[in-house]
Amino acid sequence: MLRTVLLTGCMLATGAALAGAQELGDVRQGLAYARKVCAECHAVVPSQLASPNPDAPSFASVANTPGMTATALHVWLHTSHPTMPNLILEPDTVDDVVAYILSLRRKR
């Protein structure tokens, strides 16, 4: 029961982040994709403290890197990931994942 309430709270928070973001992508789809594909190495949700792959930064820390922008993330995701050269994302998927990562930014 409590778990359901917490989960709903999280979804609402994500929805609020989506409403405030000036991004083209869909935050929820980005999260779903990240959980499926990126979570193998990266901590994709802020509650996850450490990445499965210690060399991969958590998405929360990527989002909160000073100067991190949607453009920088797009560039990164269109160039080859050193450890995963075969990861090719569709442009729409890139938008979604970028929107999701930037939704993890702490409010300043």
Q: Site residues (CB under 6 A) for ligand HEC?
A: 34, 37-38, 40-42, 53, 55-57, 62, 65, 73, 76-77, 81-84, 87, 89, 97
Q: How far is the CB of 10 from ligand HEC (least distance, A)?
A: 20
- Cβ distance to ligand HEC smaller for residue 42 or 104: 42
- Residue 55 and residue 40 in contact, taking contact as beta carbons nearer than 8 Å: no
Tokens encoding 15: 């929805």
| CB neighbours of residue 79 within 10 Å | 8
Q: How far is the CB of 24 from ligand HEC (least distance, A)?
A: 16
Q: How far is the CB of 17 from ligand HEC (least distance, A)?
A: 17
E strands present in the chain: none
**Distance of alpha carbon 43 from alpha carbon 51, whole angstroms:** 4
Tokens encoding 95: 């938008």
- Cβ distance to ligand HEC smaller for residue 18 or 57: 57
- Cβ distance to ligand HEC smaller for residue 17 or 60: 60
Please tell me the total number of residues recorded for the chain in this structure: 108
